[in-house]
Amino acid sequence: MQSMRWLPLEANPDVMNQFLKQLGVGSSWQFVDVYGLDPELLSMVPRPVSAVLLLFPVTEKYELFRAEEEEKIKSHCQDVNNSVYFMKQTISNACGTIGLIHTVANNRDKLNFEGDSALKKFLEESVSLNPEERAKFLEKDESIRVTHESSAQEGQSEAPSIDDKVDLHFIAFVHIEGHLYELDGRKPFPVNHGQTSDDKLLEDAIEVCKKFMQRDPNELRFTVVAFSKA
């Protein structure tokens, strides 16, 4: 059976903010560009930051690392807080939307939802499901699919054909109970990157992003976006 496929979402804060607005998420928090990874440019990012999204190229080097990382975590185990909301990705090119869902789901206590919010409804109905069941639940959610499709057409660059192979992937970094978690729907579980805090989330997430870049030093296709208090 052929898997579902969506148009890819652009790593554009305006598109992401409009996407969340359409799904009934209040505008008290907004996505903003991170223009560089040095301290001076990071100081320009509005605080506090409650999530960081990274768009990166899926290369051969990365896939090798991902397989090694998975084996290492499985053999050594890791602590993952039960309150982390994590979902698998079963829809091709849906990683942008899953990154947004991971951002909102793990910051529900900070956000306000407006009217008959489709995303609030999705989270309430999926919070008790496991990561695989949440993925299946997303496949059936027409409100989110339609919003994704319209948002994917809104970017500054021309939207690719739905059949184009896209080798760029979104992941989210969030702070839960004193730890930094990487949430990637292509992985079997969240990755705990150690201790962090609300104040240090941006800097600690950026340190992990730098490792992605160091693994592929010839690649330039990296984009970092922060979810900041407006």
Residues that are catalytic: 95, 169
Displacement of CA 89 from its chain's centroid (Å): 11
* Neighbour-count burial for 92-112, b at 16+ CB within 10 Å, e otherwise: bbbbbbbbbbbbbbbbeeebe
Q: Provide the β-strand partners of residue 166.
A: none
Answer for the pair 211, 62: CB distance below 8 angstroms, yes or no. no
17 is written with which tokens?
């903010």
Answer for the pair 188, 86: CB distance below 8 angstroms, yes or no. no
Rg from Cα positions in the chain: 17
Q: How far apart are CA 47 and CA 34, in angstroms?
A: 12
